[in-house]
Amino acid sequence: SEDWLSAHSLKCQKLTLADLISQGTEVLEEDTNVVQKIRFSTQIIRHFESKLSDTIEVYQERIQWLTENSKKAFGLIKGARVSILIDVSAVSSGPQKEEFQK
Protein backbone atom coordinates (compact mmCIF):
# COMPACT_ATOMS: atom_id res chain seq x y z
CA SER A 1 0.00 0.00 0.00
CA GLU A 2 1.00 3.60 -0.38
CA ASP A 3 1.18 4.07 3.41
CA TRP A 4 3.51 1.08 3.82
CA LEU A 5 5.77 2.22 1.00
CA SER A 6 6.01 5.74 2.37
CA ALA A 7 7.30 4.32 5.65
CA HIS A 8 9.58 1.64 4.17
CA SER A 9 10.91 3.12 0.94
CA LEU A 10 14.63 3.27 0.23
CA LYS A 11 14.36 7.06 0.36
CA CYS A 12 12.70 6.96 3.79
CA GLN A 13 15.31 4.48 5.04
CA LYS A 14 18.07 6.72 3.61
CA LEU A 15 19.35 3.93 1.37
CA THR A 16 19.55 5.69 -1.99
CA LEU A 17 22.75 6.14 -3.95
CA ALA A 18 22.67 9.84 -3.05
CA ASP A 19 22.52 8.93 0.65
CA LEU A 20 25.56 6.69 0.30
CA ILE A 21 27.53 9.24 -1.72
CA SER A 22 26.82 11.93 0.88
CA GLN A 23 28.69 9.82 3.44
CA GLY A 24 31.83 9.52 1.32
CA THR A 25 34.90 11.72 1.11
CA GLU A 26 35.53 13.41 -2.22
CA VAL A 27 38.99 13.13 -3.73
CA LEU A 28 39.66 16.10 -6.02
CA GLU A 29 42.07 16.37 -8.95
CA GLU A 30 44.90 18.66 -7.95
CA ASP A 31 44.80 21.01 -10.93
CA THR A 32 41.08 21.32 -11.62
CA ASN A 33 39.41 20.60 -8.26
CA VAL A 34 37.06 18.21 -10.08
CA VAL A 35 35.87 15.21 -8.09
CA GLN A 36 38.03 12.31 -9.23
CA LYS A 37 36.59 9.68 -6.89
CA ILE A 38 34.78 9.22 -3.62
CA ARG A 39 36.22 7.18 -0.77
CA PHE A 40 34.21 5.32 1.84
CA SER A 41 35.33 3.83 5.11
CA THR A 42 34.76 0.13 5.63
CA GLN A 43 32.43 0.99 8.51
CA ILE A 44 30.19 3.14 6.28
CA ILE A 45 30.00 0.44 3.59
CA ARG A 46 29.23 -2.32 6.11
CA HIS A 47 26.56 -0.23 7.83
CA PHE A 48 24.91 0.68 4.52
CA GLU A 49 25.08 -2.94 3.34
CA SER A 50 23.55 -4.16 6.61
CA LYS A 51 20.67 -1.67 6.43
CA LEU A 52 20.08 -2.56 2.79
CA SER A 53 20.01 -6.30 3.58
CA ASP A 54 17.55 -5.69 6.42
CA THR A 55 15.32 -3.66 4.10
CA ILE A 56 15.39 -6.37 1.43
CA GLU A 57 14.31 -8.87 4.08
CA VAL A 58 11.41 -6.60 5.10
CA TYR A 59 10.38 -6.32 1.41
CA GLN A 60 10.47 -10.11 1.03
CA GLU A 61 8.33 -10.54 4.16
CA ARG A 62 5.86 -7.96 2.84
CA ILE A 63 5.61 -9.73 -0.52
CA GLN A 64 5.06 -13.05 1.28
CA TRP A 65 2.36 -11.46 3.45
CA LEU A 66 0.64 -9.89 0.44
CA THR A 67 0.50 -13.19 -1.46
CA GLU A 68 -0.96 -15.25 1.41
CA ASN A 69 -4.41 -16.81 1.18
CA SER A 70 -7.27 -14.29 1.15
CA LYS A 71 -5.01 -11.27 0.61
CA LYS A 72 -3.99 -12.82 -2.70
CA ALA A 73 -7.62 -12.90 -3.85
CA PHE A 74 -9.06 -9.80 -2.19
CA GLY A 75 -6.13 -7.58 -1.31
CA LEU A 76 -5.82 -5.78 2.00
CA ILE A 77 -9.18 -4.56 3.21
CA LYS A 78 -9.07 -1.13 4.81
CA GLY A 79 -12.01 0.51 6.46
CA ALA A 80 -14.32 0.35 9.44
CA ARG A 81 -17.04 -1.67 7.72
CA VAL A 82 -16.76 -4.66 5.45
CA SER A 83 -19.65 -6.42 3.72
CA ILE A 84 -19.39 -9.90 2.30
CA LEU A 85 -21.93 -11.23 -0.18
CA ILE A 86 -22.17 -14.99 -0.57
CA ASP A 87 -24.14 -16.41 -3.48
CA VAL A 88 -25.90 -19.53 -2.17
CA SER A 89 -28.54 -19.81 -4.89
CA ALA A 90 -27.13 -23.10 -6.18
CA VAL A 91 -27.07 -24.59 -2.67
CA SER A 92 -30.45 -23.37 -1.43
CA SER A 93 -32.45 -25.54 -3.80
CA GLY A 94 -30.17 -28.57 -4.19
CA PRO A 95 -29.35 -31.60 -2.07
CA GLN A 96 -26.74 -29.64 -0.08
CA LYS A 97 -29.40 -27.34 1.43
CA GLU A 98 -29.56 -29.15 4.80
CA GLU A 99 -25.77 -29.28 5.11
CA PHE A 100 -25.48 -25.58 4.29
CA GLN A 101 -28.08 -24.65 6.93
CA LYS A 102 -26.04 -26.37 9.65
Instruction: Give kind and range of the element (H or E) at residue 102.
Output: none
Kindly report, residue by residue over 27-69, the tens digit of the pLDDT.
888 888 888 888 999 999 999 999 999 999 999 888 888 777 6
pTM score over 0.75: no
Q: Domain segments of the chain: what residues?
A: 2-101
Q: Average pLDDT for residues 65-78, to the nearest whole number?
A: 69
Comparing CA positions, the residue from 52, 55, 54 lying closest to residue 17 is 52
* Amino acid in the structure at residue 22: S
